[in-house]
Chain A
Amino acid sequence: MISFEHVGLRYNVGPEVLSDITFTLEQGAFHFLSGPSGAGKTSLMKLLYLGHLPTRGVVKMFGQDVVTASRTQRMMIRQRIGVVFQDFRLLPHLSAFDNVALPLRIMGKKPHEIKNTVREILEWVGLSEQMNALPSILSGGQQQRIAIARAVVGKPRLLLADEPTGNLDDAIGYRIMSLFEQLNRMGTTIVIATHNQQMMDHFNHPRLTLDKGHLAVLPPTQKAALREAY
């Protein structure tokens, strides 16, 4: 469904922050993306959500080469991707409800459908009470949950989450992870960038690891594999 072949990325005239990245993601895959700070996790995410085009190599999303795709085709690809940004990127003048509703509105869904879906998902992330609040009066963790709700509300085919549980306490963090797993079982491909070793030990998923711009694909951690075996 997604394939990278010898992909490189550099920002402007800077050094290559990603080099020679080659991997594929099948429909329904669930991967962690880990690596030290500055290794290029967010940069790889950018390539995946078409926030950047590769400076070399071939990136194919849903079977389409992103470089040769037309502007409209790229927009269609992006509509199938849900992203939780590392810095959330909520629209500050929109309420929690309207922020979460945004992807559905972009897809042109009907108002009553939007209302029901958004309420349901806000309940899921435990923020029904804060539905009408502006992001500025929400805590970091609450904002993060809004960002997560917005990323999943459109039932994307690919969900990308950059440190989605970074600001959350363990209980909510695990709950969010279960939500992701539930989505994954329904067919959504998921990539989660994280530093959280406990999380990777708890959930049995293969890891994409980045180091100085180079990618390696590793199996789930031993602990996670053991947990799964029991």
Chain B
Amino acid sequence: MARKRIWELLPDTQDSGTRFVMLVVVMMTFLATLAVGGALVVSALRATWVDAVEGHITIEIPASDGAGVIRNADTLSDNARGIANAVGSLAGIKSVHVLSRVDIKNLVKPWMGEAAGTEDMPLPALMGVTLRDPDDTGALEAITKAAKALDAAAIVEAHQSWISDLRRFSLVLLLAACAMAFVTIACCIVAVTGAVAARLSEHHADIDLLHLMGATDDYIGGQFVQSVVRSVGGAALAGTVIGLVLLKAGALIAGNIQTAMLPQAGFGFADYVAFAGLPALVTGLCFAAARFTVLRSLRQMP
């Protein structure tokens, strides 16, 4: 069944002014989509990175003593085992893992190259401790005490500064993304209200006539806003789709980078809900702003 054309009070919206506004809305929602995508990626990264280190404590026995003398490798590994046993029996510890020489070599290989392969290379002893409760603040002190008791040179590291740096850094990125989304949406609103105001003065005589026929401000305003919402809604949707296509392409490229530092590429259901909310938000805000502008100027007419 052919859809009947919706009756419109105002002439077709395809004038150049409206097209310009729609173009602005397409570009701005495109940018806002990228900003939202960026924000989602940053929060995913932050979660991955923080999860990886939070609740984990590293105990290191350096390979050389304070004077720079290389210590005996067997002493190091004996002490490490002793510390692991002592720490493992503390309350609130989930697991203690002593890294083998091979593990440690693999860790340093990217920095040391093949030199790490030689047997006499001095390596520190390393233990990874996982806490039952990542927020257990007393654990660090207890572990430090236990470790120092067995080897005074032991260094206990909870990565706190790394975590707080990471938090601050991702917060800055998130704020930047939010600011970008905010400004682009504000641009849409400014463009749309400007266009509506221009359209109002263009149709001043028609509006005058409608008032004389007893049309209420709500009715006339509704006619104006209705056409605005339809144009803006379409444009915002288009901008979001273009933005999503670009993000998807970016995710495909990023997916080919084999790095454990990047979270699983691709967006989940909740992310798509956020993206779908964007054109709805833009349209809703533009609707509210347009309605406000129209009603305010209509009330000033006789």
- Please measure, in the bound complex, the distance between the C-alpha atom of A49 and the C-alpha atom of B9, giving whole angstroms: 22
CB-based contact A79/B206 at 8 Å = no
B13-35 contacts to A, CB under 8 A, are: none
Instruction: Convert A43-81 into 0s and 1s, putting 1 for each residue whose CB lies closer than 8 angstroms to a CB of B.
Output: 000000111000000000000000000011001111111
CB-based contact B212/A91 at 8 Å = no
What chain A residues lie within 8 Å of B9 (beta carbons)? Answer: 91, 94
* In the assembled complex, A89 has its CB within 8 A of some CB on chain B: yes
* In the assembled complex, B246 has its CB within 8 A of some CB on chain A: no
CB-based contact A83/B7 at 8 Å = no
Looking at the complex, which one of B11, B213, B217 makes contact with A106 (CB distance below 8 Å)? B213
* In the assembled complex, A105 has its CB within 8 A of some CB on chain B: yes
Known: A93-B11, A105-B7, A106-B219. A50 touches B212 (CB 8 A): yes
Range for the number of chain A residues in contact with chain B? 20 to 34
B211-262 contacts to A, CB under 8 A, are: 211-217, 219
CB-based contact B209/A79 at 8 Å = no
What chain B residues lie within 8 Å of A51 (beta carbons)? Answer: 212
Q: How far is the CB of B69 from chain A (nearest CB, A)?
A: 94
What chain A residues lie within 8 Å of B10 (beta carbons)? Answer: 93
* In the assembled complex, B210 has its CB within 8 A of some CB on chain A: yes
CB-based contact B209/A78 at 8 Å = no
- Please measure, in the bound complex, the distance between the C-alpha atom of A77 and the C-alpha atom of B219, giving whole angstroms: 16
- Please measure, in the bound complex, the distance between the C-alpha atom of A89 and the C-alpha atom of B205, giving whole angstroms: 9
* In the assembled complex, A102 has its CB within 8 A of some CB on chain B: yes
What chain B residues lie within 8 Å of A80 (beta carbons)? Answer: 214
Known: A93-B11, A98-B7, A105-B7. A75 touches B209 (CB 8 A): no
- Please measure, in the bound complex, the distance between the C-alpha atom of A172 and the C-alpha atom of B219, giving whole angstroms: 35
Which residue of chain A is the closest to B298 with respect to CB atoms? A71
Known: A91-B206, A93-B11, A98-B7. A103 touches B216 (CB 8 A): no
CB-based contact B209/A106 at 8 Å = no
CB-based contact A78/B7 at 8 Å = no
CB-based contact A89/B215 at 8 Å = no
What chain B residues lie within 8 Å of A98 (beta carbons)? Answer: 7
CB-based contact B212/A83 at 8 Å = yes
Looking at the complex, which one of B7, B206, B213, B299 makes contact with A103 (CB distance below 8 Å)? B213
Which residue of chain A is the closest to B299 with respect to CB atoms? A71
Interface residues of B (CB under 8 A from A): 7, 9-12, 205-206, 209-217, 219, 299
Interface residues of A (CB under 8 A from B): 49-51, 71-72, 75-81, 83, 89, 91, 93-94, 98, 102-103, 105-107
List 6 tightest A-B contacts by C-beta distance, closest first: A79-B214, A78-B214, A93-B11, A106-B215, A75-B214, A75-B216
